[in-house]
Amino acid sequence: MEFADVVRRRRMVRDYDPGRPVPALVRERLLEHAIRAPSAGFSQGWAFLVLESADERDRFWAATTGGGAPDGWLTRMSRAPLLIVPLANKGAYLDRYAEPDKGWTDRDESRWPVPYWDVDTGMASLLMLLTAVDEGLGACFFGIPADRVGAFRAAFGVPEAYRPVGCVSVGYPGDGDRRSPSLRRGRRPVEEVVHRGSW
């Protein structure tokens, strides 16, 4: 598929065919592409928790939703045969930029205008989303509620140094997939969002 077609076809898929697992080669390609994302100072301060078995996915949904009765969104999303949780490690960036070739002598977080550990991990997530489209799959990036991060950590033994930036669900789109009603707002045109030379 041409890259422009991959970009145009990328959308969040929120329902999956539970009978079609993601092939192992495709899963590995998603991860191999993710680690090709840029990272400040080549810090590569990310990690990816891969959840494929029914037990692993059930534990994820129980930890991140509180276990109440599932609504329509959760019912459709929980059919995804593959969940990948991208995690950011701020310490890896602070350590990297305290190394001699970077010129800083401490780990002062105030030097960072934005949290590049989250930005870079987000870019790795986008590469997974684009790879899914290229492989004929659907995917969705969604957040883990802040009040559920502790339960998520406990369920999977995630070290404190790593923070989930969200989750990527992957699979073959199901019959119940529907486009978000938010899309009715329309895509803002280039002329409205791009400022050339000055604001």
Measured CA to CA, the distance from residue 77 to residue 99 in angstroms comes to 42
Radius of gyration for the chain, computed over Cα atoms and rounded to the nearest angstrom: 18
pLDDT, one tens digit per residue, over 68-86 is: 666 877 888 899 999 999 9
Which SS3 state, helix, strand or coil, does residue 51 take? strand
- Domain range for 142 is 3-173
> Confidence band (pLDDT; 50, 70, 90) for 137?
very high
Q: Which residues pair with 102 in a beta bridge?
A: none
Query: How many Å apart are CA 24 and CA 15, to the nearest integer?
Result: 20
Measured distance CA(14)–CA(53) in Å, rounded: 19
- Tell whether the torsion through CA atoms of 20, 21, 24 and 26 is positive or negative: positive
- Range of lowest pLDDT (6-15, 40-49, 161-170): 6-15
pLDDT digits (tens, 9 = 90+) for 86-111: 999 999 999 999 999 988 888 988 88
Look at residue 189 in the predicted model and tell me its pLDDT: 87
- Crossing angle between the packed helical segments 149-156 and 54-65, to the nearest 10 degrees: 150
Give which of 58, 73, 53, 81 is closest to 155, Cα–Cα: 58
Mean pLDDT of 62-73: 79
The answer to whether the beta carbons of residues 93 and 40 sit under 8 Å apart is yes
Between CA 50 and CA 84 the distance in angstroms is 5
Q: What is the pLDDT of residues 144-172, one digit of tens each?
A: 999 999 999 999 999 999 999 999 999 99
Q: Per the domain annotation, does 117 fall within a domain?
A: yes
Domain of residue 112, CATH code = 3.40.109.10
Q: Report if residue 188 sits inside a domain.
A: no
Query: Does a structural domain hold residue 149?
Result: yes
> What is the rounded average pLDDT for all residues in the chain?
92
Q: What is the pTM of this model?
A: 0.91
Q: Would residue 195 count as lying in a domain?
A: no
Per-residue pLDDT at 47: 98
**Is 191 contained in some domain?**
no
Q: Give the model confidence (pLDDT) of 19-36 as tens digits.
A: 999 999 999 999 999 999
- Please indicate, yes or no, if residue 137 is contained in any of the structural domains: yes
Higher pLDDT, 164 or 9: 164
Q: How many domains does the structure of the chain reveal?
A: 1
- Tell whether 199 is covered by a domain: no
Q: Which of 147, 155, 23, 24 is nearest to 85 (CA)?
A: 155
Q: Does the pLDDT of residue 14 top 80, yes or no?
A: yes
pLDDT for res 142: 95
Q: Are the C-beta atoms of residues 33 and 170 closer than 8 Å to each other?
A: no
Residue 45 in domain: yes
